[in-house]
Amino acid sequence: MERIRARDTDAFEALYDEYHRLVYGVALRMLGDAGSAEDVTQAVFLKIWGSPGLFRSGSFAAWVARVTRNRALDEIRRRRLRPEGELAESMPMEEILEDTVLARVNAEHARDALAQLPVEQREPIELGFFDGITHEEIARRTGVPLGTVKTRIRSGLRRLRVALSGVDA
């Protein structure tokens, strides 16, 4: 990122090559069409180029994934695919994650770990992250009590972390 702050286009291209699949994948999963996913991908990387200082430290992958999700949520809101327009705020304002787990994550590993979750844990996690809906909407869609939804989200995330790190969460 230091090189990008110095306006090094080669460094930016390398960053794009490294992370565009993550950005595009999240956007595609959330928006459902390749054109919109590309628009979001482009917007995210232009944001990185235009304001590299927004990323301060920690895991770049975690940060860019959240930026992408929020951008896709903006697009969903703009389209009014969610009539109530009450999507969760999801960007913590002060986040520094020095996470050894992330260093081991790749797409296949993550997908396998997620697939191993019991469906009652995986479903609310995927609905919440990719559909951008609130815990209340998850409860309504799944017919599961609100408290149970949140407990399952927590249990699922903890289990996911264990699967990815091989240590107790």
Partner 1 sequence: MTPHDEMLDNVAAYALGVLRSGEAAIVVEHMRACELCDAEYRRLRSAVTAVAYSAEACANAATGATAASPLLKARLMKQIRSAAARPPRPAAPWAWTAAAACLLAAIAAGAIDLSLNARVGEDRARIAQQGVTIADLTASSSRHFAFRNGEIITNGPRLYIAVRSLPAPPAGRVYQAWTLARGARSVAPSVTFKPDNGGAAVVPLPVDARSIAAVAVSVEPDGGSRQPTTKPIALVKIGQ
Q: Tell me which residues in 82-111 interact with partner 1 (CB under 8 A).
A: 86, 88-95, 97, 99, 101-102, 105-111
Q: Considering beta carbons, is residue 22 or 75 the nearer one to partner 1?
A: 22
CA 26 – CA 40 distance, rounded (Å): 10
Q: Is 16 in the site for partner 1 (CB under 8 A)?
A: yes
Q: Is 157 in the site for partner 1 (CB under 8 A)?
A: yes
Query: Are 26 and 69 within 8 A, CB to CB?
Result: yes
Q: How far is the CB of 80 from partner 1 (least distance, A)?
A: 15
Binder of partner 1 out of 36, 77, 120, 169 (CB under 8 A)? 169
- The SS3 call for residue 168 is coil
CB atoms within 10 A of CB 134: 15
Report CA dihedral (112, 101, 89, 28) to the nearest 10 degrees: -40
Q: Considering beta carbons, is residue 38 or 74 the nearer one to partner 1?
A: 38
Q: Is 49 in the site for partner 1 (CB under 8 A)?
A: yes
Q: Considering beta carbons, is residue 79 or 90 the nearer one to partner 1?
A: 90
DSSP 116: T
